[in-house]
Amino acid sequence: MKLKNRSPANFVGRTIIYRHQAWKIESVLGDTIHLSKPGLDHKGRLQLHQFADCRLFPTCGEVFIQYRRLVRALGRVCKLSESEAVGAVRGMITTGSYYMDSEAIALLGGSANAMSLAWRGRHKRGR
């Protein structure tokens, strides 16, 4: 999810994606954003003007709110549970089209194939 004209101070403690890498925002001091790698000892810094190039690593709740109809379609057409459908959409946003979180998504060929099936099957409900 793209960050547009938002203050980085509101996202302290959240994970962002910058240049295809996940970083956790530790603190914001002036025009410098201090970052750390989740699970590693790497530290980093961003300038305030670079924050516009970042994307927010979405939580499951945010994915469900923003893509509610897609989650329902994945559940109805592809027979995925709600958590699997949210995981497929979240994986597609953060990782890419070949994201295979669960066995059900892997059997469908990845998150992109699951979404393609849900998109094609959206009108076949009444048949």
- What CA–CA distance (Å, rounded) separates 127 from 122? 11
Asked if residue 1 belongs to a domain, the reply is no
Cβ neighbours of 51 (radius 10 Å):
20
* Shared-domain flag, residues 67 and 103: yes
The whole-number pLDDT of residue 86 equals 93
The whole-number pLDDT of residue 3 equals 64
Asked if residue 3 belongs to a domain, the reply is no
User: Taking a C-beta distance cutoff of 8 angstroms, is the pair 19, 5 a contact?
Assistant: no
User: What Å distances lie between residue 125 and 13, 100, 120, 122, CA to CA?
Assistant: 42, 26, 11, 6
* Shared-domain flag, residues 40 and 68: no
Q: Which of 51, 52, 58, 49 is closest to 35 using CA atoms?
A: 51
Domain count, the chain: 2
- What CA–CA distance (Å, rounded) separates 120 from 44? 43
CA angle 104, 126, 66 (to 5 degrees): 55
The pTM is what?
0.70
Asked if residue 93 belongs to a domain, the reply is yes
The whole-number pLDDT of residue 125 equals 55
Asked if residue 118 belongs to a domain, the reply is yes
User: What Å distances lie between residue 45 and 60, 105, 107, CA to CA?
Assistant: 27, 36, 40
Structure tokens at 127: 């048949």
Range of the domain at 36: 8-56
Please list the rounded mean pLDDT of every run of 10 residues in the chain (127 residues): 70 86 89 87 88 84 91 92 92 81 87 89 62
The whole-number pLDDT of residue 39 equals 77
The whole-number pLDDT of residue 4 equals 59
* Shared-domain flag, residues 19 and 41: yes
